[in-house]
Structure 1
Amino acid sequence: MQDNIYAAPEANLVDTEAGAVNLAFYVVSPVKFFTLFFFTLGLYGVYWHYKNWTLYKVAYNDHKPMPVMRAIFFTHALFSVIDMRIKDTGKDLKWNASAWATVGVIALVTSNVIDRIPASGTMGALFAFMPIPLTLVYGLALLQAQRAINVSCNDPQGKSNRAITWANCIWIFLGAVLFTLALLGVFLPEE
């Protein structure tokens, strides 16, 4: 019982019940995560950041900037709070949050810079495809964070969110169309 009758009730945000999924962050299976990330050409990463910050804000009663802004700019901060969550829950997972965040940010920034280089000649064709592996490296960094999230939320395999929904299928289809158009743009001769 609290001494201050006007204080908001305190809730235990760490779920101690074995097997219960705690949604302090966005739980998703690694296979579903990488499928959506790959077929949306990395755009799923923006949604992933947004969803994690939204759930974090609710779970921890956070009043800092909106999750939309955090989805764009705060990768290191997100990885840090995921790491703190793992430590707070006493889970046994060794991962270097700062290193993975750095790898992801460098890959994403480098991909965006290379994407701005005009694609002409042999070197241009090489640069035209460089953003793809760099985007996949960014996805790998986010996947490491996803694994940490799943462990911290008592769902290491992400079983509670492993099914591909009809909305996921629409995003996969749109990403496949965009990827096909990008390939046509690279390989079709200029007039």
Structure 2
Amino acid sequence: MSIAENPYATPQSRLSWMPVRQPVFLVVAPRKFLSMVLLTLGGYFVYWLYRQWTLYQQASGKRLWPWVRVLFPACYFCSLILRVMQELEQGESAYYWWPRCLAVMIFVCGCLPLTVLWLLSPFAALAVAACIAVLQVALALQLQCAINHLERDPEGEGNAGLTRANWLGIAAGLLGWGLLVIAGVWGAG
């Protein structure tokens, strides 16, 4: 009795492994992302943007200038969000988020500090800029969660630990925080 005669028989075809999907974006655990951005005085955010664009360039084969996209994040951050959205739409599992709203919010938050400086006193402008920075980090965290889902590592466990480079960045950031505190005390006194 052949397979054609027995519809319940196991298929006799040769199975082959599908090629491993190359990562398109950088996976980072949310808790690591938040702590690194805060402890490095925002320096990790610059590194994070650069790595996102370089990985995307490698995966897509498109010719990009990642360093230009890092120098002008307000112009290119929305593009990064839309690229993640496109990759997620091609995937098998659904991820529910609002990428266009996120892109608009990021763009507005990127432009607000420039207008705030002209309208407010220096101390009030600093307070508003700090609030905008917190909002930007929260919005970037939303993007990171979408990236983690896309890369099939929702918790970001593939990049949850701190490396030596991370510790060096934290040391430099803490030094920067210390200098800011000293400058604030010196300026107030």
| Structure 1 and Structure 2 fold alike (TM over 0.5) | yes
How far, CA to CA, are the matches of 1:96 and 1:181 in structure 2?
A: 38
User: Which residue of 1 is the match for residue 35 of structure 2?
Assistant: 35
How far, CA to CA, are the matches of 1:56 and 1:139 in structure 2?
A: 21
- In structure 2, list runs of 5 or more residues that go unmatched: 1-17
User: Which residue of 2 is the match for residue 125 of structure 1?
Assistant: 123
Contact 1:13 1:59 (8 Å CA) reproduced: no
* 1:134 partner letter: I
How far, CA to CA, are the matches of 2:35 and 2:98 in structure 1?
A: 24
How far, CA to CA, are the matches of 1:27 and 1:38 in structure 2?
A: 18
> Is the aligned partner of 1:175 residue 2:177?
no
How far, CA to CA, are the matches of 2:32 and 2:130 in structure 1?
A: 19
Following superposition, the deviation at residue 54 of structure 1 comes to 0.7
User: Which residue of 1 is the match for residue 184 of structure 2?
Assistant: 186
| Large movers: runs of 4+ above 6 Å | none
Greater C-alpha Rg: 2
Select the structure that is richer in helix: 2
> Secondary structure of the equivalent of 1:188?
helix
> Secondary structure of the equivalent of 2:165?
helix
How far, CA to CA, are the matches of 2:171 and 2:78 in structure 1?
A: 31
Contact 1:28 1:160 (8 Å CA) reproduced: yes
Q: Provide the alpha-carbon RMSD of the alignment.
A: 2.5
The total of aligned residue pairs comes to 169
How far, CA to CA, are the matches of 1:189 and 1:70 in structure 2?
A: 35
User: Which residue of 2 is the match for residue 48 of structure 1?
Assistant: 48
- In structure 1, list runs of 5 or more residues that go unmatched: 1-11, 16-21
How far, CA to CA, are the matches of 2:100 and 2:170 in structure 1?
A: 30
Contact 1:50 1:68 (8 Å CA) reproduced: yes
Contact 1:111 1:135 (8 Å CA) reproduced: no
Note closer, same or farther for the CA distance 1:177–1:125 as it changes in structure 2 (3 Å cut). Answer: same
